[in-house]
Amino acid sequence: MQRVLIANRGEIALRVIRACRKAGLETVAVHSEPDANSPHLWAADQAVCIGPAPALQSYLDGNTILHVAKATGCDAIHPGYGFLAENAAFATGCEANGITFVGPAAQSIEIMGDKAEARRAAMRLGVPVVPGSEDSFTDASAAAEAVQAVGFPVLLKARSGGGGRGMRVVEDAAGFAGMFQQATAEAAAAFGDGGVYLERYFSRVRHIEVQVLGDGCGNAVHLWERDCSTQRRHQKLVEEALSPALDAATREAICTAAVDLTKGIDYRGAGTVEFLYDPADKGFYFIEMNTRIQVEHPVTEMLTGIDLVGEQLRIADGQELAFETPPAPSGHAIEFRINAEDPARGFAPCPGRVTTWRPPAGADIRLDSHVYPGFEVPSFYDSLLGKLIVRGDDRADALAKAGLALDRFQVDGVATTIPFHRALLDDPEFLAGDIHTGWVEARAA
| φ, ψ (nearest 5 deg) of residue 335 | -120, 135
Radius of gyration of the chain (CA): 21
Angle, vertex CA 50, rays to CA 48 and CA 54, nearest 5: 140
The CA-atom distances, in angstroms, between 297 and each of 81, 170, 310, 367 are 11, 31, 12, 12
CA distances (Å), origin 402, targets 29, 225, 239, 305, 333: 32, 20, 13, 19, 10
Distance between CA 291 and CA 269 in Å, rounded? 8
Q: For 427, what's the count of Cα atoms within 13 Å in the CB-facing half-sphere?
A: 16
Rounded-to-integer distance, Cα 147 and Cα 198, Å: 7
How far is 227 from 245, CA to CA, in rounded Å? Answer: 8
Active-site pick, 159, 292, 337, 391: 292
Can you tell me the distance from the alpha carbon of 198 to that of 420, in angstroms, rounded to the nearest whole number? 32
Query: What is the phi/psi pair of residue 385, to 5°?
Result: -95, -30
Residue-wise DSSP of 324-391: SSPPPP-SEEEEEEEESEEGGGTSEE--EE--EEE---STTEEEEE---TT-EE-SSS--EEEEEEEE
**Catalytic residue status for 268:** no
Q: Which residues pair with 96 in a beta bridge?
A: none
Determine which helix (DSSP H) or strand (DSSP E) holds 139, and give its type and residue range: none
Strands (DSSP E) contained in 179-219 are: 196-200, 206-215
Residues β-bridged to residue 227: 208, 240
3 state SS of 80? coil
Q: In what order do the strands lie in the sheet with 100-101?
A: 46-51, 26-32, 3-6, 76-78, 100-101
Q: Which residues are catalytic?
A: 292
